[in-house]
Amino acid sequence: MATRPTGRGQETVEIPPERCPNGHEIGPGKVIVGYGPNPDGFRARSWLCRGCGALTWDQPD
């Protein structure tokens, strides 16, 4: 999960990727957002592209 300064210290915010690995735009209705163990065994958010099925993983918490 990415963080950024908010004026109240570091706050966890969700920053989804802009495109899947195959170049499809990621946005509302275009991905299925998930959360669970990634291939390395860490829990992280994931984005499943509805266009091609590519799975993009966020950094683990």
Angular region, 40: left φ>0, alpha ψ -120 to 50, beta rest = alpha
Q: Please, what is the minimum distance in Å from the beta carbon of residue 21 to Zn ion?
A: 7
Q: Which of 16, 38, 44, 54 binds Zn ion (CB under 5 A)?
A: 54
d(CA 4, CA 48): 24
Question: What is the x/- site pattern for Zn ion, positions 33-52, by CB under 5 A?
Answer: ----------------x-xx
For Zn ion, which stretch binds (CB under 5 A), given 1-9, 20-28, 29-37, 38-46?
20-28
Q: How far is the CB of 14 from Zn ion (least distance, A)?
A: 19
Name residues whose C-beta falls within 8 Å of residue 37's C-beta, 6 or more positions apart in sequence: 43, 44
